[in-house]
A and B are shown apart, each in its own frame.
Chain A
Amino acid sequence: MKIVLYLHMHQPWRLARFRYLDLGSGRPYFDIDRNLGIFRGIAERCYRPTLDRLLRALETHDEFRLSLSITGTFVEQAKQAAPDVLDKIRALVKTGRVSLLAETYYHSLAFLVPPPELSDEVRLHREMLRREFGAEAKVLRMTELAYSDDLARFAESERFGGMLAEGWEGMLRGHPPTYLYCAAPAPTVMLLLRHYPLSDDVGFRFSSREWNEYPLTADKYARWLGNTPGDLIGLFMDFETFGEHHHASTGILEFLSALPDAVRREPHLGWATVEEAIHGTPKDTLSVPYTMSWADQNRDLGAWLGNDLQRSAFEAIKKVGIVVRETHDPAILADWRKLLTSDHFYYMYVSGHGADQGVHQYFSSYDSPYDAYANYMNALSDLRRRALEKLGVPILK
């Protein structure tokens, strides 16, 4: 049994308050100082201590392996706010036991807008991985672990050997999530599935005192892993789990440090990167005709496109995209892509479900989804105006 530990590193470019009165003013949409300030805080609490501990674990445990996905917007911010974080990631990659995954550069909803946006953004991301980390990604993960048959076909066309997906019962139809599968419409694309109960034990429940397994020790957790039947356990979670979502005072960093030793004591357990894990014989093919994700109780795209505000904003950015592409202006295109980042849509979420609303509020940078929508639409209107100006088209109200 191999543990496939995969951590996701992402920070979005959050918008500044961009008022309706700011339209046409030339004011920037993104509050660089605020974003970098947030990044520095998380670097201090999470990125530095966790990367240090991972490097130590790699140095002291030859069998230890992990995989990372790092968005382009994360790297842009890290360069300005905390370049040493990138050096620490490079040190990890240098061990040869850390795989990097491909994805959209902007952690975007590019897979829902007309081509060639998705392949453009994946290409941008691949180039960034080569440039910054000298890495060649063989496995693809889509924003928010989105997955569908169509996305598997895309992965095949881009010559990826594998993709990640949520190990959700609705899609597995009785198959256990702890084996290697391949995509029904693209059999060369292997599927690695997230074991969500074991992933969420760390990602969500670790610091919850109401949890009947609290406190979770590395030994107890390794025993659970050891007792899980199958070939692979996909532990996929946010990198910020360690020190940010769970503060250092919860003991999460010590838990991470203790895990390789605890796993070593379990006779049937080992580690694998995503690249190693896809080299196997798939147990079966899986077909997912709709798009699923790793978010919320429904594992669909409801967290980003579930309500009228979100759908209206998304329709608007798609339309603006047509004009933006016509301009061939790199600055306009980059701003449009930053607005396509999925986080902006997440902030517009309004929920009736108690459990999910708490999670959404935690991640939001606005007072309310209405604030998020209005601000976003103002920025988008301004971008449209800029694009039309560039094209010399008279602007109609």
Chain B
Amino acid sequence: MRTVAAPRPLHIVMVGWEWPPNHSGGLGVHSYEISKELTRLGHRITFLTPFGGPFTPVDGVTFRFPGGPPANDEKPPAAIDYPPAYWSGGTPESPFMDATDGYNVWVSLLEGLGPVDVVHVHDWFGTVGARALSKRLEVPLVMSVHSTEYDRSLGHPWQHILDREQIGIDAATRVIAVSRHLRQQIIDRYHADPAKMKVVYNAVRPSPRLERIDPAKRVVLYVGRLAVMKGVDTYLRAAARIAAKFPDVLFVVAGEGPEYNHLVRLAAGLGIGDHVMFLGRVTEEERDLLLAGSSVFVLPSVVEPFGIAALEAMAAGVPTILSKTSGVAEVTSGAFTVDFWDADEFASRIAELLEYPTLRAAMGEQGRWEALREGWPERARETVGVYLEAMSARGRHP
């Protein structure tokens, strides 16, 4: 990925969805982190969102939302109660449909943006509006794909959302995927021109290394949403294979989601109810504490376009086991990778890390180095490189 510096500051209109502190998925984190680094490089961002804040402020980022004033306000109107970003269910009659439609109309009609260099849309929510806006402003459209409807729906995609994705992928001059695996999927399933497909990985922010905690029981950790595509059932089956051999080990599941009840019942059914602890949703601080006290981190996802939770674990020095299909597996050689369906192999890898302290230490060190050797600053520079490519492909030279 080329990382040419822009010759002048760019103004980027980002057609987003969520923004911290109100976010449920990785998209909000990504928007925030990449925007912060882009503004550090001197670029200016207008971030469009259907939600009315509050917004964690970033210098150089102006927020615009339906019904809001044209600039950041001290007292924004109350947030509109939309379903979360990765909600995927319901019917075309649901209020969610109207919400994205309203948002798209609002985006396409938005005035008062001043000179704009690039429109950058994330995932499917705002593709229709972003396409219209970029056309009207006569600037290139860049689309970032963090996951596709196929990934989120486990093979039962909703046609309406596929259409929105297709619109963005077709209209964009450049498309950014968060892993090579996802890039290939977009080429195969959306027939995207490989020449316009780029990969920019996710990253983690280096945080102060917490003192390792020695809990009374050793901890094997999963952090993430409890959705079918996350493969947490495989993690529990793996735990059941080895729980009896490791009575001093607690298998922790941190996160919430539609599979919660099913997973609790599964743990009980497997006879490991007393070896598994369901923590529900944890804050960032709680997650960091959990990582500081964990011996092993597991990402058993059936589908995982990237898998930033695993990169967070590696950055905290926790040896990590990844499913082979995860995007994060592309950026590390210091983690074990396992086929997502292979509960025995997950069990063996967990047991090996619990059993061999030298292995735990070596993989922890290597993973930490790999997770932190490149960060959001590098990803922002790569993203600017994509903007410049898109501009020059459209005959616009900054």
State the A residues within 8 Å of B (CB). Answer: 19-22, 307-309, 312, 350, 367-371, 373-374, 377-378, 381, 397
Contact = CB atoms under 8 A, between A and B. Distances in A.
Contact of B347 (A21, A307, A350): A21
A228 B348 CA distance: 56
Given A308-B358, A373-B356, A21 B351 contact: yes
B242 to A, nearest CB: 8
Contacts of B268: none
A374 B347 contact: no
Listed residue (B241, B344, B358) with the most chain A CB atoms within 10 angstroms of its CB: B358
B3 interface: no
B363 A370 contact: yes
Given A370-B336, A374-B349, A374-B352, A19 B359 contact: no
30 contacts: A19-B344, A20-B242, A20-B348, A20-B349, A20-B352, A20-B355, A21-B241, A21-B344, A21-B351, A22-B348, A307-B362, A309-B358, A309-B362, A312-B356, A312-B358, A350-B362, A367-B333, A369-B362, A370-B359, A370-B363, A371-B336, A373-B359, A374-B352, A374-B353, A374-B359, A377-B352, A377-B355, A377-B356, A378-B348, A381-B355
B348 A368 contact: no
Contacts of A381: 355
Contacts of A20: 242, 347-349, 351-352, 355
Contacts of B330: none
Contact of A368 (B242, B245, B334, B352): B334
A19 B362 contact: no
A371 B334 CA distance: 10
Nearest to A371: B336
A19 B336 CA distance: 13
A371 B356 CA distance: 12
Interface string B361-395: 11100100000000000000000000000000000
Given A370-B359, A373-B359, 5 more contacts: A19-B345, A19-B348, A308-B361, A373-B362, A377-B356
B337 interface: yes
Nearest to B367: A370
Contacts of B337: 367
Contacts, number: 58
Contacts of A312: 356, 358
Nearest to B241: A21
Contacts of B361: 308
B358 A370 contact: no
B344 A377 contact: no
Question: Which 8 pairs of residues, A with B, have the shortest CB-CB distance?
Answer: A19-B348, A20-B351, A312-B358, A20-B348, A374-B352, A21-B348, A20-B352, A308-B358
B352 A378 contact: yes
Residue with the greatest number of chain B CB neighbours at <10 A, chosen from A21, A308, A367:
A21
A378 B352 CA distance: 8
Nearest to A311: B358
Contacts of B356: 312, 373-374, 377
Interface string B159-191: 000000000000000000000000000000000
Contacts of B363: 370
B324 to A, nearest CB: 10
Contacts of A309: 358-359, 362
Contacts of A369: 362
Contacts of B351: 20-21
Contacts of A350: 362, 366
B333 A368 contact: yes
Contacts of B345: 19
A370 B344 contact: no
B383 to A, nearest CB: 29
Contacts of B348: 19-22, 378
Contacts of A374: 336, 349, 352-353, 356, 359
A371 B345 CA distance: 12
A370 B355 contact: no
B361 to A, nearest CB: 7
A97 B349 CA distance: 52
Contacts of A368: 333-334
A33 B245 CA distance: 32
A22 B345 CA distance: 10
A307 B361 CA distance: 12
Contacts of A19: 344-345, 348
A350 B358 CA distance: 14
A366 to B, nearest CB: 11
A204 B359 CA distance: 32
Contact of A308 (B241, B347, B352, B362): B362
Contacts of B242: 20-21
Interface string B337-348: 100000011011
A308 B356 CA distance: 12
A307 B333 CA distance: 17
A27 B380 CA distance: 50
Nearest to B358: A312
A309 B361 CA distance: 9
Nearest to B361: A308
A156 B205 CA distance: 61
A371 B336 CA distance: 7
A20 B242 CA distance: 10
A92 B305 CA distance: 58
A365 to B, nearest CB: 16
B394 to A, nearest CB: 40
A10 B241 CA distance: 39
B333 to A, nearest CB: 5
A381 B351 CA distance: 13
B236 to A, nearest CB: 16
A173 to B, nearest CB: 36
> Which among B352, B355, B361 has the greatest number of chain A C-beta atoms within 10 A?
B352
A379 to B, nearest CB: 12
Contacts of B366: 350, 370
Nearest to A312: B358
A71 to B, nearest CB: 28
Interface string B10-23: 00000000000000
By CB atoms of chain B within 10 A, which of A19, A22, A371, A397 has the most?
A: A19
Nearest to A368: B333
A68 to B, nearest CB: 37
Contacts of A370: 334, 336, 359, 362-363, 366
A78 to B, nearest CB: 33
Centre residue among B336, B344, B359, B361 by max chain A CB count within 10 A: B359
A381 B356 CA distance: 11
Contacts of A377: 352, 355-356, 359
